[in-house]
């Protein structure tokens, strides 16, 4: 029961933290900075801090664990720093930076929990990751429409910090992921360095496709939320499907089907949502495969994936892809991802950890 409780707390907190960050980004920052190039620079700065910084923070968490510094404390620090970003009467740039720093600390704590308590299965990581998508869209709408007050958002964050302090401060022994003895022998490619680099390349491609795929039909609040629900469902289900049918089959088939849907069907509501769902199924798989090659460094592993996300999402800040090239490049980038996951992911799901408490 304890494992499922911490997953529930971290997943809900993930939603709240991302909601709070985008509440600030799309509210006080967007309205406080009236220069469009500066706004773009601000979002790039946010991504750089929130995503790229998770790599050194994750490594720090791994190094501090032998001293009984719980990964839960990193998540608590993240919540408290985001509260400062929400409430502090400071420059919009300062508030943005605080939210980004807090976001990075929280994600490291929650990401470590999703890996070291996964017991060799993929579902837990996918479930934890998926709730961020809901937080982003709710925070965006709340920031633009002023649905929530800064005080209400801060109280939500404080509640998450209290729950994590109360229930998620345990230090797990051994502090490692449980994928290595099963998954590394089932992959076509054995060299760990090559597996990590190819998984990161797949994540870079996924992030680039995500940022370059337009969704022209988001004309109402419902249609704004709908594609996010598809992303959420894909990430949530991805790990569960990988455990059931095998990560290589699930990741490769979902990407192959998603490629034409995103390249040519993104302008259609149904086809676009199916494409987004399938495209995001691989999220938990690539994370867990990287973690399987660095079993003693779950925080560093999680940081490698977010660094790759930052790299892939950064291209769109500097190069506007012509619409005439987008379908071809989308197919090409997804094809690269397919090759990467086929080479690096195990063909069968790990059957380790079938106790009722550790299924997620």
Task: Place 171 in a pLDDT band, splitting at 50, 70 and 90.
Answer: low
pTM: 0.92
Check pLDDT > 60 for residue 350.
Answer: no
The single residue listed with the structure tokens 């773009």 is 40
pLDDT value of residue 34: 75
Read off the DSSP letter of residue 353: -
Q: What angle do CA 145, 149, 153 make, to 5 degrees?
A: 110
Check pLDDT > 50 for residue 354.
Answer: no
Q: Which two tokens stand for residue 300?
A: 């560093």
Check pLDDT > 90 for residue 196.
Answer: yes
Q: Are 114 and 129 in contact (CB under 8 A)?
A: yes
Q: Are 144 and 26 in contact (CB under 8 A)?
A: yes
Tell me the three state secondary structure of residue 295. Answer: coil
Average pLDDT over residues 213-227: 92
Q: Which two tokens stand for residue 224?
A: 């704004």
Per mean pLDDT, which of 2-6, 64-68, 183-187, 226-230 is the most reliable? 226-230
Nearest alpha-carbon partner for 185 in 348, 53, 319 = 348
Average pLDDT over residues 106-126: 93
Check pLDDT > 90 for residue 83.
Answer: yes
Round to the nearest angstrom and report the end-to-end CA distance of the chain: 11
pLDDT value of residue 353: 44
Read off the DSSP letter of residue 347: S
Question: Which of 48-62, 162-176, 293-307 comes out lowest in average pLDDT?
Answer: 162-176
Task: Place 127 in a pLDDT band, splitting at 50, 70 and 90.
Answer: very high
Check pLDDT > 70 for residue 355.
Answer: no
The Cα 249–Cα 94 span in angstroms is 45
Which tens digit of pLDDT belongs to each residue from 255-299? 999 999 999 999 999 999 999 999 999 999 999 999 999 999 999
DSSP count for the chain of H helices, then E strands:
16, 0
Nearest alpha-carbon partner for 140 in 263, 43, 48 = 43
Q: Would you mind telling me the total number of residues written for the chain in this entry?
A: 360
Check pLDDT > 50 for residue 90.
Answer: yes
Read off the DSSP letter of residue 319: -
The Cα 58–Cα 282 span in angstroms is 22
Q: What domains does the chain contain, in order, with CATH numbers?
A: 2-167 (1.20.1250.20), 180-351 (1.20.1250.20)
The Cα 250–Cα 288 span in angstroms is 14
Cβ-based burial of 86 (10 A; exposed 0-12, middle 13-18, buried ≥19): buried
Task: Place 351 in a pLDDT band, splitting at 50, 70 and 90.
Answer: very low
The Cα 163–Cα 79 span in angstroms is 11
DSSP 149-176: -HHHHHHHHHHHHHHHHHHS----SS-S
Task: Place 188 in a pLDDT band, splitting at 50, 70 and 90.
Answer: confident
Q: Which two tokens stand for residue 67?
A: 């001293």
The Cα 46–Cα 29 span in angstroms is 11
């Amino acid at each position: 029961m304890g494992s499922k409780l911490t997953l529930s707390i971290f997943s809900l907190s993930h939603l709240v933290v991302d909601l709070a960050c985008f509440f600030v980004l799309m509210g006080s920052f967007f309205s406080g900075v009236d220069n469009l190039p500066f706004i773009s620079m601000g979002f790039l700065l946010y991504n750089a801090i929130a995503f790229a910084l998770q790599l050194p923070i994750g490594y720090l968490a791994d190094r501090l664990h032998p001293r009984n510094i719980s990964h839960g404390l990193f998540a608590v620090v993240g919540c408290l720093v985001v509260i400062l970003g929400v409430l502090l009467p400071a420059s919009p740039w300062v508030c943005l930076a605080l939210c980004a720093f807090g976001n990075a600390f929280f994600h490291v704590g929650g990401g470590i929990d999703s890996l070291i308590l996964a017991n060799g299965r993929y579902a837990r990581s996918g479930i934890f990751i998926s709730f961020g998508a809901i937080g982003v869209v709710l925070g965006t709408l709340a920031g633009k429409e002023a649905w929530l007050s800064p005080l209400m958002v801060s109280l939500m964050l404080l509640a998450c910090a209290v729950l994590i302090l109360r229930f998620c401060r345990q230090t797990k022994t051994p502090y490692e992921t449980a994928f290595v003895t099963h998954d590394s022998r089932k992959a076509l490619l054995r060299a760990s360095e090559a597996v990590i680099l190819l998984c990161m390349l797949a994540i870079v491609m996924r992030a680039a496709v995500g940022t370059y795929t337009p969704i022209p039909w988001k004309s109402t609040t419902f249609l704004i939320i709908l594609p996010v629900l598809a992303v959420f469902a894909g990430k949530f289900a991805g790990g569960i499907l990988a455990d059931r049918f095998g990560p290589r089959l699930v990741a490769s088939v979902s990407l192959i089907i998603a490629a034409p849907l995103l390249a040519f069907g993104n302008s259609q509501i149904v086809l676009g949502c199916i494409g987004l769902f399938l495209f995001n199924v691989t999220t938990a798989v690539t994370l867990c495969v990287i973690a399987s090659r660095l079993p003693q460094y779950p925080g560093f592993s999680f940081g490698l994936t977010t660094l790759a996300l930052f790299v892939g999402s950064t291209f769109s800040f500097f190069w506007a892809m012509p619409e005439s090239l987008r379908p071809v490049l989308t197919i090409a980038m997804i094809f690269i991802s397919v090759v990467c996951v086929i080479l690096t992911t195990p063909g069968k799901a790990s059957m380790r950890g079938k106790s009722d408490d550790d299924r997620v």
